[in-house]
C-alpha cells in the first residue's frame, strides 16, 4: 500500500509517495506499449530492477520446484482496474496454489468464472467504506478453517477488509493489508493498536502451528527497504520508529517474551543487501528512477524457513498495479 509522507507541502508529499487508496490519473496501460519488456530479458543493468511501466508482452516463469506449494501475494490497487491492465496474464503465468490479493477495493465478492475455476476456494473480506482496502485469499487447497478477524481488537471496522487467516493441517496462512498511519501520521495510533493486537494474534497462532504471513505489510523494515530513507524517517507512514520496532519485535521477540518464537522476513534473508522494491508510485516517473518501497513480503515462523525453496519479487510485473507481486515456493503439503 502506498504510504504518504507527512508534509506541509502537498506537492512535496506527493513527490515522495502516494496516499492510501488514492485515485490515480494514469492512462490505461496497454500490453503492447512502448515500455513493455519481456520477462526473459531486462532493460536494466545486472542486479537492478526492471523499469517497464506496463506488463511484459510475454510473461513466463521457471517451472515450480518439485513437491512445493507456490504462494503469491499482490497488492492490485483496485481489482477492477487491474483486470483491465492484464491482471489475468500474470495469474495464468504464475499459477499459484494460493493467491493473496490486497487493496482489492471491491464492494461485493466478484463473480469471475476464470478465477473460480482456477481457485475453487475463495475468501473475501470487504471494508465498510466503499471502494476502500479489501483483502482476498484464493486457494486451490481447501482450508480447515477461515478467520477474518483479529481476536481482541476493539474496533472491528478497522479490521474488516484487512485480514484473512486460513488454517491448514500443518500451518496457518495469514493474508493482510495492514493499515496506513495516515497523512502527517494522523492515524499512527490506529496502526499501533493494530500492531499490538496482531502481534499477540500471530504469536498465539504460532504456538499451535507454524505461520506464513504475507500481503502488503505496509512497513519498510530497514533503511535499505525504501529510497531516501533518511528523509522519510519518522515523517512518512511505513517508516517510523513505532512501526519498524513493532515489525522487528515480531521477528525477534524481546527478552521479556521468552516463550515467543522468532519469525523470518524470507526475501530479505535471501537477499541481505539488495535494494529492491515492491511499490513504485505512478507519479513523477518513480518507476523509471527506481524510487520505491519494499512493502509486500513473506514472514514465516523460523522453524519452517528451511522448507522455503524460492522467494522472489516479480519485478517485471508492473503496470497492472503500482505494486509488484511477490511469490514463494515452500515444501508441501501445507
Q: What residues act catalytically?
A: 177, 216, 323
Q: What is the DSSP string of 260-299?
A: PPPEEEHHHHHSTT----SB--SGGGHHHHT--B--EEEE
Strands (E) across the chain are located at 68-75, 98-102, 121-125, 135-139, 145-147, 163-167, 172-177, 211-216, 263-265, 296-301, 308-313, 326-331
Placement of cell 517474551 in the chain: 257
Residue with cell 490515480: 24
Q: What angle do CA 274, 182, 248 make, to 5 degrees?
A: 40
Q: Exposure of 323 by Cβ count < 10 A (0-12 exposed, 13-18 middle, 19+ buried)? A: buried
322 is in an annotated binding site: yes
Cell digits of residue 89:
496474464
d(CA 284, CA 293): 15
**Cβ-proximal residues to 250 (8 Å cutoff; 6+ apart), any chain:** 199, 202, 203, 263, 299
Grid coordinates representing 93? 503465468
323 is in an annotated binding site: yes
Q: What DSSP line would sit under 201-250, residue for residue? A: HHHHHHTTS-EEEEEE-----SGGGBSSHHHHTTTSTTSSHHHHHHHHHH
218 marked as part of a ligand binding site: yes
Report helix, strand or coil for 93: helix
Render the burial of 286-300: b for 16+ CB within 10 Å, e for the rest.
bbeebbbbbbbbbbb
Q: Which residues are annotated as a binding site?
A: 75, 103, 216, 218, 322-323
Can you say which residues are annotated as belonging to the binding site for Mg(2+)?
75, 103, 216, 218, 322-323
Amino acid at each position: 500500500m502506498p504510504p504518504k509522507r507527512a508534509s506541509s507541502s502537498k506537492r512535496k508529499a506527493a513527490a515522495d509517495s502516494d496516499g492510501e487508496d488514492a485515485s490515480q490519473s494514469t492512462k490505461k496501460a496497454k500490453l503492447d506499449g512502448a515500455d513493455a519488456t519481456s520477462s526473459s530479458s531486462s532493460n536494466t543493468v545486472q542486479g537492478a530492477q526492471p523499469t517497464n511501466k506496463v506488463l511484459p508482452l510475454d510473461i513466463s516463469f521457471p517451472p515450480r520446484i518439485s513437491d512445493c506449494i507456490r504462494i503469491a501475494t499482490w497488492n492490485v490497487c483496485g481489482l477492477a482496474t487491474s483486470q483491465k491492465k492484464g491482471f489475468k496474464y500474470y495469474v495464468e503465468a504464475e499459477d499459484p496454489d494460493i493467491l493473496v490479493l490486497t487493496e482489492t477495493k471491491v464492494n461485493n465478492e466478484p463473480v469471475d468464472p476464470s478465477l473460480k475455476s482456477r481457485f475453487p476456494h475463495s475468501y473475501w473480506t470487504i471494508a465498510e467504506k466503499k471502494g476502500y482496502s479489501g483483502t482476498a485469499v484464493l486457494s486451490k487447497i481447501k482450508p480447515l478453517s477461515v478467520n477474518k478477524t483479529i481476536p481482541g481488537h476493539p474496533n472491528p471496522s478497522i479490521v474488516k477488509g484487512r485480514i484473512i487467516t486460513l488454517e491448514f493441517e500443518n500451518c496457518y496462512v495469514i493474508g493482510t493489508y495492514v493499515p496506513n498511519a495516515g497523512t502527517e501520521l494522523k492515524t499512527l495510533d490506529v496502526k499501533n493498536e493494530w500492531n499490538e493486537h496482531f502481534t499477540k494474534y500471530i504469536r498465539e497462532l504460532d504456538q499451535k502451528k507454524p505461520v506464513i504471513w504475507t500481503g502488503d505489510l505496509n512497513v519498510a523494515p530497514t533503511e535499505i527497504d525504501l529510497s531516501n530513507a533518511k528523509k522519510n524517517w519518522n515523517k512518512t507512514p511505513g517508516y517510523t520508529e513505532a512501526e519498524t520496532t513493532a515489525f522487528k519485535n515480531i521477528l525477534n521477540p524481546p527478552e521479556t517474551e521468552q516463550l515467543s518464537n522468532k519469525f523470518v522476513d524470507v526475501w530479505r534473508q535471501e537477499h541481505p543487501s539488495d535494494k529492491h522494491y515492491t511499490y513504485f508510485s505512478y507519479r513523477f516517473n518513480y518507476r523509471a528512477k527506481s524510487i520505491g518501497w519494499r512493502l509486500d513480503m513473506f514472514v514465516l515462523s523460523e522453524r519452517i524457513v528451511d522448507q522455503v525453496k524460492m522467494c522472489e519479487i516479480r519485478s517485471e510485473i508492473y503496470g497492472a498495479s503500482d505494486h509488484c507481486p511477490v511469490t514463494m515456493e515452500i515444501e508441501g503439503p501445507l
